[in-house]
Copies of this chain bind each other. A is one copy, B any other.
Amino acid sequence: MPIPHVADPLGVILLRLQRSLERELIQGLQAGGYPDIRMRQLSVLDAVGADGAKAAALAARFDMTKQSMGELIDDLERSGYLGRAQDPSDRRARILELTPRGKVATEQCRQIVQAIERRYESLIGASRYHETRMSLAALLEHLEDGPVS
């Protein structure tokens, strides 16, 4: 009855996989005690990491506007996962860094993410999973190199 997804356009497959994964992650985060971290925020926390980062660089890295990134960052700051420090070499800019709480959360969330990925891996086999992952990453790299020109 449910038409097999091989027939679906790639966009539909990607969309549904992404939504499915996001749902599972949200569940995992809630179970793990982080009901206030949303998926996109997690990417940001991950990217800020140990080294800190600047908002504009993050926006570029995730291919979104400064405004959208700004909102994610505001929320993360309000929740106490992220702090802002003046950039001594540029008075316009602020350097983002994880708070201690943010560091703990990032590490635990990373493990939740890995658990989900391990489950996915087991569903279609490790080698096939990793090949798929690599191919997707390669595709993305190509797309970002030469957009549509």
Contact between chains at B113 and A5 (CB < 8 Å): no
Secondary structure at the A interface, as helix, strand, loop or mixed, is helix
- Residues of A1-33 at the interface with B, using a CB-CB cut-off of 8 Å, are 2-6, 8-22, 24-25, 27
Q: Does A124 contact B (CB under 8 A)?
A: yes
A10 to B131, CA, bound (A): 12
Query: Which of B43, B123, B138 is in CB contact (< 8 Å) with A143?
Result: B123
Which of A6, A11, A117 counts the most B-chain CB atoms under 10 A from its CB?
A11
**In the assembled complex, which residues on chain B have CB atoms less than 8 Å from the CB atom of A133?**
6, 10, 13
Contact between chains at A43 and B12 (CB < 8 Å): yes
User: What is the interface of chain A, defined by CB distance below 8 A to chain B?
Assistant: 2-6, 8-22, 24-25, 27, 39, 43, 46, 61-63, 113, 117, 120, 123-124, 128-129, 131-144, 148
13 additional contacts, CB 8 Å, given A15-B39, A132-B132?
A: A5-B137, A5-B140, A10-B21, A10-B133, A13-B133, A13-B136, A14-B17, A15-B18, A20-B143, A24-B148, A123-B143, A129-B135, A129-B139
Between A and B, 8 residue pairs with Cβ closer than 8 Å are A11-B21, A11-B43, A12-B43, A13-B133, A20-B140, A24-B148, A123-B138, A124-B142
